[in-house]
Amino acid sequence: MCSITALLGLTESVESHRDAVLRASSLQHHRGPDWSGVIQTSTAVIAHERLAIVDVASGSQPLVDPETGTILAVNGEIYNHRALKKSTLASYPFTTGSDCEVMLGLYREHGADLVLHLEGMYAFVLHEPDTGAWLVGRDPIGIIPLYFGRDDEGQTWVASEMKAISDICTEVQTFPPGHTLSNMDFAPVNRYQRDWMTWDQHPREPYLPEALHKALDESVQSHLMGDVPYGLLISGGLDSSVVAALAMRHAQQRIDEDKTTQAWWPNVHSFAIGLEGSPDLAAAEEVAAFIGTTHHGMTYTIQEGMDALSDVIRHIETYDVTTIRASTPMYLMARRIRTMGIKMVLSGEGADELFGGYLYFHLAPDAREFHEETVRKVLDLHKYDCARANKSMMAWGIEARVPFLDRNFIDHAMRLDPVCKMAGPGKLEKEPLRKAFEGLLPERILRRQKEQFSDGVGYGWIDSLKAQADLRVSDTDLNRAASRFPINPPTTKEGYWYREMFERHFPSAAAASTVPGGKSVACSTEKALEWDARLRNVVDPSGRAVTQVHQDGYSAPHADDPSPKQG
């Protein structure tokens, strides 16, 4: 994982352009503390901050095609790079062991269609010095962040984080996942279309537990690629625990297609965080003991979390309430993981979107509504959980990998008949996952009800945030929120408090426009609120807001209660 910064389409590149790109790139140095690189041509400047995970010795970027001179800067990992090198790219003159170098070979063969051949997480810039042509792209789900904009001279800027270009560009946008943009395009071009995205074309394939097990196991194994020690994030919930348990199967010795031993370490460390006595900490410890990791259960105090809020918002670049609630403990955990020499971790993001794991999915009226909501959630992951996981970890130079969001596994999960995923009376959410991995985890963990990360770290965290916001934001402030913040005006005092902090870091309207808005209950989309009248007057993204499902749901939740009591 790294950062990229690029200034493209210059009519004449001068030293001041290089200086400007270097200044912008330096704002992302936390993403790549191991090395920096920059290449300037007559029409572009491309910079890279490197976090060395694969080919630590010779994989520095930007990379250059030794024959064509094409320049490449990538943030991410290409998991099928070995297979590509053996097949379609057997004749390409590779000069490094970097997994990303395959993109230069694919660009020769396929141009912008190179993304159709990649399995991984990535955001990249390609540039041809001789012609001035350039290409920008982002992985299908948006696991890796990417922003683009134009300055007052109409020049195109690209960066891994919004902060690098928000003060330079008159307009800043999130680069859409699964798209590419070239100097010949008027707008980003969508290159990710799947049959499961529309109800009429959805295959509705039968659920086979052993096939699901195999598909996720293969994804986890591919995600262990690397030349540095890795760790496992275990929240104590089903998703991260399954990933961790599968990873431990392959931890003792990782073998590539040539049967040659890759880097491995005798002890795999796992990590969890929560308030003292939190449900996640206890469950994570049970999982770690069962699968055999060297475990670190970390605690933080409510005051430590509140003290970090402003820094968290600056790094995550959002004012979304649920993202900030969950990002804060993850940010604190990442800082402590980094001190142990871990540079890469596996995490469980994505399962709730693929399998309808959030508690409000219990209220889906039929299979079509259920499936279409999962599609909306998967395609919006880049706005929420992917941004949280990536930026919380990368704030301290740690790469988070998410096996559930492997392109092949997404297809497997999303093509299943949604009837098999639906929860209801006597049937927990994500039942296909629970059944496919029976015996891999303690029974109590396999049957544990969904807890959103911001709830699982300890219910006192959210309740205290609401109480603090009530002290800091007056009723008058909230009533005037629409005039103070015309873009996505906050509807709660907690949201107003976060918005004030965001504005201090990112005062422009362009920056505010990069953050998603809309009502949500327990991480739902706004469309799903139509499912049940009891959801429509609730303004809280916590899973406890689904009182008719959550075993410790709020009592009598409503929009005017900033700090509901637990039932």
Closest alpha carbon to 319 in 477, 497, 462: 497
Cα distance between residue 560 and residue 551, in whole Å: 23
Q: Are 527 and 517 in contact (CB under 8 A)?
A: no
| Token digits of residue 304 | 């430590």
* Amino acid, res. 177: P
Distances (CA, A) of 302 to 276, 409, 448, 466, 494: 10, 37, 25, 12, 15
Cα distance between residue 79 and residue 62, in whole Å: 19
Closest alpha carbon to 8 in 44, 37, 39: 44
Task: Give the H or E element holding residue 310.
Answer: helix 302-316
Residue 62: is the preceding peptide bond cis (ω within 30°)? Answer: yes
Q: E-assigned strands of 338-489?
A: 344-346, 399-401
| Alpha helices by DSSP H, 102-158 | 102-110
Closest alpha carbon to 185 in 129, 135, 219, 237: 135
Task: Give the H or E element holding residue 149.
Answer: strand 147-150
Side-chain half-sphere CA neighbours of 458 within 13 A: 21
- Strands 171-174, 147-150: pairing is antiparallel
| Token digits of residue 217 | 């196991």
Q: Are 373 and 557 in contact (CB under 8 A)?
A: no
| Token digits of residue 486 | 């015309």
Catalytic pick among 2, 169, 386, 523: 2
Residues in contact with 430: Cβ distance below 8 Å, sequence separation at least 6, in sequence order: 238, 239, 351, 352, 355, 356, 357, 421, 423, 450
Closest alpha carbon to 316 in 144, 491, 485, 162: 162
In eight-state DSSP terms, residue 160 is S
Cα distance between residue 2 and residue 399, in whole Å: 9
2 noted as active-site residue: yes
Active site residues: 2
